Structure 1
Amino acid sequence: MGDKKRKPIPGWLNFVFGGLSGMMGISVVQPADLVKTRMQLMGPKGDKSVISTISGILKNEGISGFYKGLSAALFRQATYTTSRLGVFNSLNDFYSSMYGVPSFPVKLVVGSVAGGIGAFVGNPAEVALIRMTADGRLPPEQRRNYNNVFNALARISREEGRAMLLRGATATVTRAMVVNAAQLGTYSQAREQLLSTIGDGIILHFIASLISGLSTTFVSLPVDIVKTRVQNSAKGLGQLQVLRSIIQQEGVFALWRGFIPTYAKLGPLTVLMFLFLEQWNALYYRLTE
């Protein structure tokens, strides 16, 4: 995502810029992510509308309810997004220096690899995030009431064993490989294709991000809802068990439940993340050239 004619940004800065961009973006879209998670955890008897989910959160938890799990969301970005964007940009720069501009299939593969690595690194934060955002939908006596992400990680390790922090790691990695192949690969390709028409700048980054966010939402939702159910399960169910159960009990279209709040989160997050990332990159070049 850097200009191939320029000297590549140092590898360690790719990781720093990626993490900062993700954390800045998630701070804005956390409410939509919480609504999406609550909808994904509803069974076949739950009220599945966006409006009722939002009104229920407002009624039972107030405005602050939309920001439950924010510390976990920030920590997830600090681990997961730092890793995935850093690995993607580093691999992209390496490939470009060796073989020239990567093709779209190569970008998809690089995005998939980066996503898998990032997801494994960020899985403990992912488990804490799902637990914290799901807590408000439970009866008061069943809520875990974690104070923050570090309290959640410590209590999960102590009360349920450290292995619980890797609960759903396979599902998380699967989702991340799909998401990042779509998000990073599509953004990079759209940016490249539109560059000669629009010219470099915020408008280009914005349009490429919108294209990336929409395609990512569509392809990622089925694996995302499976991952969410696996990580919130008390019985340690596998991906195939959860997938089969959703299709049998709720229908195939349940795999795209929460499309609106997911895009309301993923669309702006993609836009903000790449806008912030491009600005960090531009700042680096302004200071070093």
Structure 2
Amino acid sequence: MEESKKTIPPYMKAVSGSLGGIVEACCLQPIDVIKTRLQLDRSGNYRGILHCGGAVWRNEGVRALWKGLTPFATHLTLKYALRMGSNAVLQGAFKDTDTGTLSNRGRVMAGFGAGVLEALVIVTPFEVVKIRLQQQRGLSRELLRYKGPVHCALTITREEGLFGLWAGAAPTVMRNGMNQAAMFTAKNAYDVVLWNKYEGDGKVLQPWQSMVSGFLAGTAGPICTGPFDVVKTRLMAQSGDGVKYKGMFHAIRTIYAEEGLRALWKGLVPRLMRIPPGQAIMWAVADQVTGLYERRYLHPAPL
């Protein structure tokens, strides 16, 4: 079956992604905190995911597992809106002008372009703030260097310059570009293979079907982009007075020399615990939103 020429407009894709991002952030923030702590752990204080989570809970209270939720939720909402909307625009640009179909190559290029755009516009500055907040120990506001997301962003800008908010931009671009190229291509493939669902065909997946496709589509990226994610976290965590890594390639060489090859995949398990379930949650919400649009405007029921 060929893909229908009827397509969901980019603004609806953006809305569906933003709503999915809100739900995902609230559900999975603790795993993101644990991932960040593991990636920043150079002395082996944490023996694994459960030990890290338990240590944070015991030493800092349960609320510490939701540190950075405000920038994380805002970041996901804006990121998914930009990702889904820009991917839809780019897919339209890469479609064959005669048949209106999108090749796998065009789908990969659209996904990569959407990942690069979100990395530069949204992801990098928000993750810099989130990681700076997450690496702080304790909950006493008076003892913390950064009092909150806005104070953190202003402090970084004042002490390190505006580009301090774009620390780690290069590995973030590589990570997000590769992730989204794989994710959009895989999600479409799983929808077709598992559920015979083509965009614009009027068929609306059940939430559990979207979750299966989204979960499977979200597994490949973290494995392939692990080193970029570790390097991104290390670069973003550096403040102006404690710069150890001079850039992406220097960070990769330094981590490999000092901590071994496996260190470049630190935090992989919590990433796999967060990203595939996160994609499952996001797509379950997004597919219902776009499905409602399809039923109402692309394939309305006859009167």
TM-score (norm 2): 0.85
Cα offsets for 1:179-208 (capped at 9, x unmatched): 1112222212222222339x8523432222
Contact kept, 8 Å, 1:44 with 1:250, in 2: the verdict is no
> Structure 1 residue 256 and structure 2 residue 265: aligned?
yes
Partner of 1:118: 118
CA distance in 2, matches of 1:249, 1:272: 37
Counterparts in 2 of 1:287 and 1:205: CA distance versus 1, 3 Å? same
Q: How does 1:102-113 map to 2 (within 5 A)?
A: 102-113=102-113
Which residue of structure 1 aligns with residue 234 of structure 2? 229
Q: CA deviation at 1:57?
A: 0.3
Q: How many pairs are equivalent?
A: 286
Moved more, 245-254 or 150-159: 150-159
Partner of 1:212: 217
Provide the rounded CA distance (Å) in 1 between the counterparts of 2:175 and 2:255.
Answer: 17
Question: Against the structure 1 CA distance between its residues 228 and 106, is the aligned structure 2 distance closer, same or farther, given a 3 Å change threshold?
Answer: same
**Which position in structure 2 is the counterpart of 1:273?**
282
Say whether the 8 Å CA contact 2:38–2:52 is kept in structure 1: yes
Matches within 5 A, 1:98-247: 98=97, 99-122=99-122, 123-136=124-137, 143-147=144-148, 149-196=149-196, 201-202=205-206, 203-234=208-239, 235=243, 237-247=246-256
> Structure 1: 5+ residue runs without aligned partners?
none
Does the C-alpha gap of structure 1 residues 140 and 19 become closer, same or farther in structure 2, counting only changes over 3 Å? closer
Cα distance, 1:139–1:233 mapped onto 2, change above 3 Å:
farther
Check the 8 A contact 2:219/2:276 in 1, yes or no.
Answer: yes
Supply the distance in 1 between the matched residues of 2:176 and 2:138 (Cα, whole angstroms): 26
One-letter amino acid of the structure 1 residue matched with residue 146 of structure 2: N
Identity %: 27
2:271 and 2:220 mapped to 1: Cα distance? Answer: 12
Aligned-partner SS, 2:6: coil
The Cα shift of 1:30 comes to 0.7
Provide the aligned C-alpha RMSD in A. Answer: 2.6
- Between 1:45-54 and 1:252-261, the stretch displaced more is 45-54
- 8 A Cα contact 1:119 1:173, kept in partner: yes
Deviations 1:30-68 (A, max 9, x none): 111111111011115443411221111011111101100
Give the stretch that moved more between structures: 94-103 or 36-45: 94-103
Using the TM superposition, give the Cα deviation of residue 72 of structure 1 relative to its aligned residue in structure 2, in angstroms: 0.8
Residue aligned with 1:265, SS: helix
CA distance in 2, matches of 1:153, 1:20: 25
Closer/same/farther in 2, CA of residues 136 and 26 from structure 1, 3 Å limit: same
Q: Return the alpha-carbon distance in structure 1 between the equivalents of residues 173 and 89 of structure 2.
A: 20
What is the aligned partner in structure 1 of residue 32 from structure 2?
33
- Which amino acid letter does the alignment assign opposite residue 186 of structure 1? A
Separation in 1 of the partners of 2:100 and 2:138? 51
Q: 1:77 aligns to what?
A: 76
Q: Distance in 2 between matches of 1:204 and 1:257?
A: 31
Aligned equivalents of 2:258 and 2:43: distance in 1? Answer: 7
Structure 2 segments unaligned to the other structure (5+ residues): 198-202
Which protein has the bigger helix share? 1
Secondary structure of residue in 2 paired with 1:144: coil
Match of 1:285 in 2: 294
For residues 116-169 of structure 1, what are the alpha-carbon distances to aligned partners after superposition, in whole Å with 9 as ceiling and x for unaligned? Answer: 00110112112111111112279999742332x233222322333212112111
Any conservation in 1 of the 2:16–2:287 contact (CA below 8 Å)? no
Q: Is the 8 A contact 1:39 1:53 kept in 2?
A: yes
Cα distance change of structure 1 residues 103 and 46 upon mapping to structure 2, 3 Å threshold: farther
